[in-house]
């Protein structure tokens, strides 16, 4: 069920419809305009997710390809990888900025040593 929903969401037909519906108000994906059902909300989530992936593919981002997009497990892997590397970067940057500096310009202070 989930697999099929993802397959429909990544199809050219629905990706085109989704992107057009964002620009043209008269094109709607659903019969109802409000009170979206659970499956509709999940479908919109996947439409947005795959739309983002196709954009990444167009801008030739690393680790993404047509083969990856067609494969649910590899798409999940792609997001886990992105999330973890982003978290790692943020932690490294935070650690850097948390280091105590002893002056305003952040450069090392001169250390005067007594000559023996």
Partner 1 sequence: MEDKAKKTEDAINALKELQEIEETLELEKLIHDNKIVFNIKDEIYRINKIEFEMQEKLNSAKRKKFFELMDDDSYVLEETLVEKYLKKGKDIPQMEKQINTLNSEMQDFLFRLAPETEPKSIEKLKKEITSLRNKIFKISMEKTDLLEYSIENQLLIYENEYAIILSLEKKNKDNGKWEKCFKTYNDFKKCENNQLINKAVYFLNQLNYLKGLKDNSESL
Distance in angstroms (rounded) separating the CA atoms of residues 90 and 18: 33
Q: Rule CB under 8 A: is residue 48 a binding residue for partner 1?
A: no
Q: How far is the CB of 22 from partner 1 (least distance, A)?
A: 17
Distance in angstroms (rounded) separating the CA atoms of residues 3 and 8: 9
Q: How far is the CB of 43 from partner 1 (least distance, A)?
A: 5
Distance in angstroms (rounded) separating the CA atoms of residues 75 and 73: 5
Q: Rule CB under 8 A: is residue 105 a binding residue for partner 1?
A: no
Contact by Cβ (8 Å): 39, 5: yes
Report which of 62, 87, 41 is spatially closest to residue 53, judged by C-alpha positions: 62
Give the up-direction half-sphere exposure of residue 27: CA atoms within 13 A in the CB hemisphere: 11
Residue with tokens 């919109």: 44
The residue from 15, 19, 21, 42 that contacts partner 1 (CB under 8 A) is: 42
Q: Rule CB under 8 A: is residue 51 a binding residue for partner 1?
A: no
The residue from 10, 18, 53, 78 that contacts partner 1 (CB under 8 A) is: 78
Residues of this chain, 55-74, that bind partner 1 according to CB under 8 A: 63, 73-74
Contacts with partner 1, residue ranges (CB under 8 A):
1-2, 4-5, 7-8, 29-32, 35-40, 42-43, 45, 49, 63, 73-74, 76-82, 84
């Amino acid at each position: 069920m989930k697999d099929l929903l993802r397959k429909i969401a990544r199809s050219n037909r629905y990706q085109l419809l989704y992107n057009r519906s964002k620009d043209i108000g008269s094109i709607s994906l659903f019969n109802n305009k409000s009170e979206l059902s659970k499956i509709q909300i999940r479908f919109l989530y996947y439409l947005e997710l795959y739309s983002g992936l196709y954009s990444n593919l167009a801008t030739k981002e690393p680790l993404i390809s047509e083969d990856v997009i067609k494969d649910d497990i590899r798409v999940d892997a792609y997001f886990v990888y992105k999330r973890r590397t982003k978290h790692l970067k943020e932690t490294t940057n935070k650690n850097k900025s948390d280091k105590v500096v002893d002056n305003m310009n952040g450069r090392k202070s001169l250390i005067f040593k007594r000559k023996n």
